[in-house]
Structure 1
């Protein structure tokens, strides 16, 4: 049985840990509120922009000329992986890494064997994980969450689009967590580039009228397509940020509960140990007194 001093030290240690997890839960809750507001405001805009692009593309005759819509034989692949910068958020990062590895094994096994799968890491945890696995990783934007804004994400999107347009990659996929609620995140592995001729996820009726483009059809699509891709990446980063805070809040809440249960057990052990020590001392005193009598 552990000594009273050891049990006391463990109680103090667990109590300190519980205070830390409580504080981290409160911080995550405050960040989650801001992140949730951001993503709820972004979703309608991103959806409407996607619908607009789909409608204009379906009514345009030369929309297939965009280099960002050019489908090629897939030899070189870039996977954009959105994780967090820090841990202590449960299985949030682990699930994304597993989903990415599953995507590579199921869809790009041949390219991976030839060393033609690269990772574009948004978040330090993803970068560290894939460097350990031997992948070539672009780490230019791993600290994106420390300065999260549209300008920073736009630069990342522009770099990806430039590399695809120049033929450095034949396909770009995007893996991220979509925020559903505090306890639930949905992993998405979506095609980012080339963009499809028509977005099948958006159900729009075929236009029954001829569109008049002002300025020209090419200029409108040249503006809309890159903008929609930037917004799509920005939305995925905001979704991931909200998901991270929700996962951290849940993990810290569970850690606080576990610490409370552990404190109960330790206090019980402490009281039993103390009682046993007192009983032993009483028996020694009584035994000494009896010995003096005799």
Structure 2
């Protein structure tokens, strides 16, 4: 699958309007037929030590599980008829673009949080390693210093004995 676009500018200075504009351009490109399918790939933040690489279908919007079950003939779930005001089509026309903007913004925020978590974990490990190195070097320094002091004392005592004798 060829990658048509990579946008890393969205995470430089996170801004919902910038992400929303990019989402609109993706929707327009999809509507015009430039792309058959759009997937977003990002790091999902779990915690500072765990980030999960995610791939989500962005466009066309995946169908909900309930509508897929109805098509397969699984009618175990109760289906309710609702009256929509305005019409279902108008609601979908209004909500889908907003939902797609928020979905893309969430992916950007997750990626940023994942990056900060990974950096925080790396810095914590670096600090621990530096502390351990400092402890090792301090012991080596003290041993060398003690050896130098002992040798100096031995020379002084040896010189004093030579003068006596």
Scaled by the length of structure 2, what TM-score is found? 0.77
Runs of 4+ aligned structure 1 residues displaced above 6 Å come to 201-204
Structure 1 residue 208 corresponds to structure 2 residue 80: yes
Which segments of 5 or more consecutive residues in structure 2 lack a partner in the other structure? 70-76
Structure 1 residue 120 corresponds to structure 2 residue 16: no
SS in 2 for 1:229: helix
Structure 1 residue 283 corresponds to structure 2 residue 154: yes
Counterpart for residue 239 of structure 1? 110
What is the deviation of 1:202? 9.8
- Which has the larger Rg? 2
**Count of matched residue positions in the alignment of Structure 1 and Structure 2:** 158
Q: CA RMSD in A?
A: 2.8
Distance change (3 Å), C-alpha of 1:118 and 1:162? same
What's the CA shift string for 1:93-144, capped at 9, x where partnerless? xxxxxxxxxxxxxxx3xxxxxxx4234223xxxxxxxxxxxxxxxxxxx1x3
Q: Greater relative contact order: 1 or 2 (C-alpha under 8 angstroms, separation 6 or more)?
A: 1
Scaled by the length of structure 1, what TM-score is found? 0.47
Counterpart for residue 162 of structure 1? 28
What's the CA shift string for 1:134-159, capped at 9, x where partnerless? xxxxxxxx1x3343232121112112
What is the deviation of 1:278? 1.8
What is the deviation of 1:214? 3.2
Matches within 5 A, 1:69-88: none
What is the deviation of 1:260? 1.4
Structure 1 residue 253 corresponds to structure 2 residue 120: no
